[in-house]
Structure 1
Amino acid sequence: MIKEEHEVAVLGAPQSQAPMTTTVINIPRETFVPDHIVWSLFNTIFMNWCCLGFVAFAYSVKSRDRKMVGDVVGAQSYASTAKCLNIWALVLGIFLTIGSIVLLVFVYLKAYQMALQVANNGGY
């Protein structure tokens, strides 16, 4: 053993009567706040009924800005609003798209039936 190591081994633990104090440093870890920007962009491009997708995209950008500044509470608030708007945009977009397709099919079927009637009656 080296001389210093031998001295430490012989001395042992410190023999102080004072209680040992510890210091705890809390380092705030980066909290994950989803900003839903990809979902908002999808709704803006494909499901933008009543401009809900665009508004959700604006709130997602605001959430990302708040997160970059370090305002976690503000980022969570904007992200929650963006999530709610995205849900409404998606549900409304799906229902209105399906409704439009069903309406279009019924209109084409009715037009086809009327064309067959006109053809069978000789033009009248």
Structure 2
Amino acid sequence: MEQIPQPYKQALLEARKMPRDYFLGPSAPSLLQLLLPGLAALVFSVKSRDCKVVGDPERAADHSKTARCLNIVALTLVILISAALILLVATSKDFLFKKVQEVLTEIHDSNFNEPH
């Protein structure tokens, strides 16, 4: 097996030390972009990626942590909003179904109670 030259070995070690930028977190689900934390997470993940390119791992790690936290907040908000919408639709469906049944029953009763 061939030995890796020292400059390349050093570059590989530095690349492994670079923090994640969490760029795909906010950009994958587009619903996260509608929320302010998702948009802020996208900004911080781009900043993290820029710092990685420049070679500033400390600032990249800081921006990466912020992006991760904002992704978690945005995902939690999306889950809560989705659950609330599902509950709203489920409960309103029963309410609307009952109202429609009452109206149909009144129409049916009024048709049979009228003299012909």
TM-score normalised by the chain length of structure 2: 0.75
Is residue 44–residue 67 contact of structure 2 (8 Å, CA) maintained in 1?
yes
> Structure 2: how far apart are the matches of 1:104 and 1:49?
21
Match of 1:89 among 66, 74, 83: 74
Give the match's secondary structure for 1:122: helix
The alignment status of 1:117 with 2:102, answered yes or no, reads yes
> Structure 2: how far apart are the matches of 1:49 and 1:117?
40
> Structure 1: how far apart are the matches of 2:107 and 2:46?
62
Please tell me the root mean square deviation across aligned C-alpha atoms, in Å. 1.9
Structure 2: segments with no counterpart, 5+ residues: 1-9, 111-116
Give the match's secondary structure for 1:82: helix
1:81 CA drift (Å): 0.3
> Structure 2: how far apart are the matches of 1:103 and 1:48?
23
**More helix, by proportion:** 2
Identity of aligned residues (%): 29
1:91 CA drift (Å): 1.0
Is residue 27–residue 33 contact of structure 2 (8 Å, CA) maintained in 1?
no
Structure 1: segments with no counterpart, 5+ residues: 1-26
1:42 CA drift (Å): 2.1
Runs (4 or more) in structure 1 with deviation over 3 Å come to: none
Is residue 48–residue 93 contact of structure 1 (8 Å, CA) maintained in 2?
no
What is the match of residue 63 of structure 1?
A: 48
Paired residue total: 97
1:46 CA drift (Å): 2.5
What is the match of residue 107 of structure 1?
A: 92
